[in-house]
Amino acid sequence: MTEVIFEPGRQDIIIKREFDAPRDVVFQAFTNPELIPRWWGARRFTTTVEWMDVRHGGKWRFVSRNNEDGNEYAFRGVYHDVVAPSGTVFTFEFEHGGPGYLQLVTESFEEVDGRTQYVQVSLFQSVEDRDGWIPTDMDRGIRESMDLLADLIAGS
Amino acid sequence: MEDELSRTFAALADPTRRAILARLADGPAPVNELAQPFDMTAQAISKHLKVLEAAGLISRSRQGQWRPCRLEVAPLDAVTAWIARYRAAWQDSFDRLEAEIKKIQAKEDG
């Protein structure tokens, strides 16, 4: 399933996920602008793609609108490296600013027995910067997790 | 809340402090016992304990000469909750992406 590695004293967050498909298919899906609104970001946001030029030096910019309060948040960056289907390197910038707003993201796709091991490393400016990325609305987060749990139980 | 978590993470970032917490997971201990495994002055250990105490990760009994240190897990629960939430959010996103991948594959096969 999905694994998050967040260790004290490090300036990165590592996310791992296995997909039940060959890596050329998974890579295509990840880098397809038409699919972004269907999976990128939290469910309570509607994301639109302004630019997504997946090639060396290409720019990307997504705008996510909160369905509840209408607030918009924009994210952008530049592709530093794109090697299909094995990986990408790009900058990730939260335009709103704040601690952790600028990251260097390295994605790798490895195929094992027809399945794809996806690894995303987000590198922050410093340990303090990474720790500052933690959102301040912890109570809301815990409540949402409980809602999610309730949904899962109801759905099973 | 953010400051509290940053303090917790900063306190956890040091290997000596993590070793102290690991020892305290086995039960309360006095300062001199905590200092024993480390090649450090009492002053240096005391500094580490102050950081842990400020982060709410340990408490020190105010009674008696022995004054044992005790592990406090509440700040760790907050960190664990945040990581769990972050993981759940990504899992949800990736599940939606995987559903799209399945659709693409079904189209290719059909």
- Cβ atoms B32, A153 nearer than 8 A: no
**Inter-chain touch A29–B97, beta carbons under 8 Å:** yes
- Percentage of chain A surpassing pLDDT 90? 71
The string of pLDDT tens digits covering residues A70-127 is: 999 999 999 999 999 999 999 999 999 988 999 999 999 999 999 999 999 999 999 8
Q: Which amino acid is at A149?
A: L
Task: Map out the domains of chain A as residue ranges.
Answer: 3-154
Looking at every residue in chain A, the average pLDDT score rounds to 87
Which secondary-structure segment (H or E) carries A108?
A: strand A102-112
CB contacts of A6 in chain B (<8 Å) are 83, 86
CATH 3.30.530.20 fits A3-154, yes or no: yes
Q: Residue B46 has which token pair?
A: 């005391």
Prediction ipTM score: 0.83
Instruction: Kindly list the distances between the CA atom of residue A122 and the CA atoms of A6, A92, A104, A119, in Å, as whole numbers in the listed order.
Output: 11, 9, 6, 10
Angstrom distance (rounded) from CA B72 to CA B21: 9
b/e code A126-153 from CB counts within 10 Å (16+ = b): ebebbbbbbbeebeebbebbeebeeeee
Question: What is the pLDDT, as a whole number, of residue A146?
Answer: 42
Q: Residue B71 has which token pair?
A: 């592990």
The string of pLDDT tens digits covering residues B33-73 is: 898 888 888 889 999 999 999 999 999 987 766 789 998 88
- Cβ atoms A3, B87 nearer than 8 A: yes
Would you list which residues of chain A are within 8 Å, Cβ to Cβ, of chain B? 1-4, 6, 8-9, 13, 15, 17, 19-21, 25-26, 28-30, 35, 38-43, 118, 127-128, 131-132, 134-139, 141-142, 144-145, 148
Which secondary-structure segment (H or E) carries A2?
A: strand A2-5
